[in-house]
Amino acid sequence: MIDFEPKFITFDMHGTLIRWQLAAMTRQRLADVVPADQMDDFMKSFQWQRLDEVLGPWKPFHAVMHDSLRKTLARFGLPYREADGQAIVDALPTWGPYPEVPEALRALASRYPLVILSNADDSQVMSNVEKLGAPFHAVFTAEQAQAYKPRYHAFEYMFNQLGCGPKDVLHISASPRYDLMVCNDLGVTHKVHVNRGFEPSTPGYDYHEVTALSQVPPLLGI
């Protein structure tokens, strides 16, 4: 049980609430460009290139995606096709939630204001939010904050907009690296890792770990 009454429950969205399909889509789009025996290494490089891109000054999500893909392909000596990057950008708003998410969100919303902090542009997120099927108090984006997670400024922007501090929220994410480690540094004492298998667990960061969002309401006595 989480012995805490948060003022807000805050969420990462893509990969935590919305099913993250980027890896599968990238493999499919680039199957004719990346040799099969290099694909696993390519995908790891593409993953960390995206992280590196968002650590710098803010730029639109489409630029993050195009630049990450172009640089990763160049690292492997492979050609870049703009249409591949654009297909990924265009697909993001079409993705829907993990199966258990809508019901779990509605249960949490019955008691707490729900908030999203998303590494996306304003034009992308609302289509995903509508598919979640639950009410949200606020939805904040990297575009609004002019910073992507895991930069601290993204979280500080959210706290300032909500008029609260780190100790007032329960933050829920599938990403220790982008969310939970930073939250720990900033003083968010109540955190939940929804382990979707994207990253290894980092239990030293003092969070509750679950494998589905449906396990969170019981932690709060709902």
pLDDT for position 199: 93
Reported as a single tens digit per residue, the pLDDT across 153-186 is 999 999 999 999 999 999 999 999 999 999 999 9
- Mean pLDDT for the chain overall: 96
- Of all residues in the chain, the percent with pLDDT exceeding 70 is 100
Q: Which two tokens stand for residue 33?
A: 């460009």
pLDDT for position 61: 95
pLDDT for position 1: 86
Q: Which of 57, 63, 51 is nearest to 182 (CA)?
A: 51
Residue 203 has pLDDT above 90, yes or no: no
Q: Which of 98, 110, 121 is nearest to 174 (CA)?
A: 98
| Mean pLDDT on 138-154 | 98
What pTM did the predictor assign? 0.95
Rounded to the nearest angstrom, the gap between the alpha carbon of residue 96 and the centroid of all alpha carbons in its chain is 14
Helical spans, DSSP H, in the chain: 22-29, 39-54, 61-75, 82-91, 101-109, 122-132, 142-145, 152-162, 181-186, 216-219
Reported as a single tens digit per residue, the pLDDT across 41-55 is 999 999 999 999 999
Residue 26 has pLDDT above 90, yes or no: yes
Q: How many beta carbons lie within 10 A of that of residue 166, not counting itself?
A: 18
Residue 72 has pLDDT above 90, yes or no: yes
Reported as a single tens digit per residue, the pLDDT across 80-126 is 999 999 999 999 999 999 999 999 999 999 999 999 999 999 999 99
C-alpha–C-alpha distance, residues 127 and 61, integer Å: 15
